[in-house]
């Protein structure tokens, strides 16, 4: 197999999935597309009952339908992570419907305007922070109390941009660094209540967010990735499924880089 060959496409597993998440109520925010959609599908394959929440209501409904067609259990909901009350309502609804969530994956994100820092309009900086950082804050602010009685796991999507910076992605990198800080803080504060809080930092993943980048935005990047390719959303979802399972019971507060070796030194 060449270095750039893909090990699997995530669509047709060669072995049956485990049922290590059987009947666990899960909430995937940003679940209509890309990494979030793959996480929702993977958690459902492993037995979780998934609320798929997203600003894109139709997209969330489509993901939930595909999960149901594959024999899983999912419910779509609309949410805007920039609206704390709306996030609280979805978390309360998930709690009411299923006694959950016991698992939360916070995937909602935007790229925002791409430019060198000095050319970045303040309102563009604001938009990115509102979704990518405040959104995670609003989500955890509702999810942590909802999990306090039962215990649970929260996984936040960060990025290699939090670790290395990323040209023309100043707001994005700043927001993702903030996600790491919120993750570590919550892990320390809520461990005693049985809640684990983790982050995942992907490199470049083949999703609509990356497809929407201007031509040339990722030029030269793959040459710096030892595995020589981008990631599939299903590969990130496989990591997330491990992190939210009891197999990862001693992990909290840590960030999990999945980048094909991009950050290796």
Catalytic residue annotation: 172
Residues 139/87, Cβ–Cβ less than 8 Å: yes
Q: How far is the CB of 239 from ligand NAD (least distance, A)?
A: 12
Q: How far is the CB of 22 from ligand NAD (least distance, A)?
A: 26
Number of residue whose CB is nearest ligand NAD: 34
Residue nearer to ligand NAD on the CB measure, 83 or 150: 83
Which positions from 96 through 155 interact with ligand NAD, judged by CB under 6 A? 107-110, 131
* Cα–Cα dist 123/4, whole Å: 39
159 binds ligand NAD (CB under 6 A): yes
Retrieve residue 225's tokens.
């990735």
C-alpha closest to that of 154 among 80, 228, 91, 214: 91
Residue 258 engages ligand NAD in binding (rule: CB under 6 A): no
In the complex, the smallest distance separating the C-beta of residue 160 from ligand NAD, rounded to whole angstroms, is: 7
In the complex with ligand NAD, which residue's Cβ is closer, 201 or 245?
A: 201
Return the number of the residue (82 or 254) whose C-beta is nearest ligand NAD.
82
Question: By rule CB under 6 A, what string of x and - marks binding of each residue 12-41 to ligand NAD?
Answer: ------------------x-xxxxx-----
Across 65-140, the runs of DSSP E, i.e. the strands, are 73-78, 103-106
Q: Checking DSSP bridges between strand 49-54 and strand 73-78, what pairing results, if any?
A: parallel
Residue with tokens 């489509």: 62
56 binds ligand NAD (CB under 6 A): yes
Separation CA 232–CA 91 (nearest Å): 28
Touching ligand NAD, residues 64-83 (CB under 6 A): 79-82
Residue 215 near residue 181 (C-beta atoms within 8 A): no
The sign of the CA dihedral 121, 122, 127, 128 is positive
Residues 156, 201 contacting (CB under 8 angstroms): no
User: For residues 35 and 147, which CB has a smaller minimum distance to ligand NAD in the complex?
Assistant: 35
Q: Nearer Cβ to ligand NAD, position 38 or 248?
A: 38
The residues facing 103 across adjacent strands are 26, 153
State in angstroms the smallest separation of the CB of 94 from ligand NAD: 15
- Contacts for 171 with CB less than 8 Å, ≥ 6 apart: 112, 113, 120, 124, 125, 127, 128, 129
Please state the closest distance from residue 16 (CB atom) to ligand NAD, in A: 26
Toward ligand NAD, which CB reaches closer, 62 or 253?
62
Q: Which residue from 149, 208, 226, 261 is in contact with ligand NAD, where contact means CB under 6 A?
A: 208
Q: How far apart are CA 143 and CA 103, in angstroms?
A: 9
State which of residues 28, 40, 44, 55 lies at the interface with ligand NAD (CB under 6 A): 55
Q: Binding residues for ligand NAD, how many (CB under 6 A)?
A: 28
């Amino acid at each position: 197999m060449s270095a750039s060959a893909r090990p699997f496409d995530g669509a047709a597993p060669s072995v049956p999935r485990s049922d290590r998440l059987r009947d666990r109520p899960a909430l995937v925010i940003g679940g209509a597309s890309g990494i979030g959609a793959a996480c929702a599908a993977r958690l459902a394959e492993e037995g979780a009952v998934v609320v798929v929440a997203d600003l894109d209501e139709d997209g969330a409904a489509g993901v939930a339908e595909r999960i149901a067609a594959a024999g899983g259990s999912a419910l779509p909901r609309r949410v805007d992570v920039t609206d704390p009350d709306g996030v609280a309502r979805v978390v309360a609804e998930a709690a009411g419907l299923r006694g959950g969530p016991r698992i939360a994956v916070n995937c909602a994100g935007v790229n925002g305007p791409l430019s060198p820092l000095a050319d970045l309009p303040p309102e563009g900086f604001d938009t990115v922070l509102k979704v990518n950082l405040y959104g995670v804050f609003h989500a955890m602010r509702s999810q942590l109390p909802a999990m306090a009685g039962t215990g649970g796991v929260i996984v936040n999507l960060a990025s290699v941009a939090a670790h290395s910076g990323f040209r023309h992605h100043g707001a994005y990198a700043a927001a993702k660094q903030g996600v790491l800080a919120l993750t570590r803080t919550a892990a320390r504060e809520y461990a005693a209540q049985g809640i684990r809080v983790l982050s995942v930092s992907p490199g470049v993943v083949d999703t609509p967010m990356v497809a929407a980048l201007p031509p040339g935005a990722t030029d030269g990047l793959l040459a710096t990735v030892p595995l020589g390719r981008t990631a599939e959303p299903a590969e990130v979802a496989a990591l997330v499924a491990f992190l939210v399972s009891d197999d990862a019971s001693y992990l909290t507060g840590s960030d999990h880089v999945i980048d094909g070796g991009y950050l290796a030194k």
